[in-house]
Amino acid sequence: MNRLYPKYIANLVITAILGVLLVSCGSEPKLQGKWSSSGNTADSIDMHSWFLEYEFSGSNYTMKGYPPISEQGTYEVVQERGDSLEIYFNVLNSSPETKSHKDWIVVTDSILISGQLSLRKK
């Protein structure tokens, strides 16, 4: 047996472990899955329904809603303070057009709060 063979196997295992760690660091476990919110807004003439849904998978996200709105891209946790996370959303596709942005969100139990909006985990 060649003396380099055990070193080759050890290097291969270390490389595989580092690859898994790098991929897993790109996502926040608290965010993974689907989050949604819905409601009605009434004015003096009509009542209008709305909904919003986010899905976080790995370091990717999608957002869709009604009235028609959508966004997809990647995200990264910039900083964390207790239950508060500052997220950088790298927008790759959106309608209406949106630029990449940072937002503070709060994640507790099964609720995600962004500004005045509360979403529940599905």
C-alpha distances out from residue 59 to 18, 24, 50, 92, 118, Å: 17, 9, 27, 13, 21
Number of neighbouring beta carbons within 10 Å of residue 120: 13
Count of CB atoms within 10 A of residue 77's CB?
A: 17
What residues does each domain of the chain span? 28-121
Residue type, 109: D
Q: Whole-angstrom Cα distance, residue 23 to residue 58?
A: 8
- The pLDDT profile of the chain, 122 residues, written as one tens digit per residue, is 455 555 545 444 443 343 333 333 446 788 999 999 999 887 767 768 999 999 999 999 999 999 999 999 999 999 999 999 999 999 999 999 999 999 999 998 899 999 888 999 98
The two structure tokens encoding residue 37 = 């919110």
pTM over 0.85: no
Taking the domain 28-121, which CATH number applies? 2.40.128
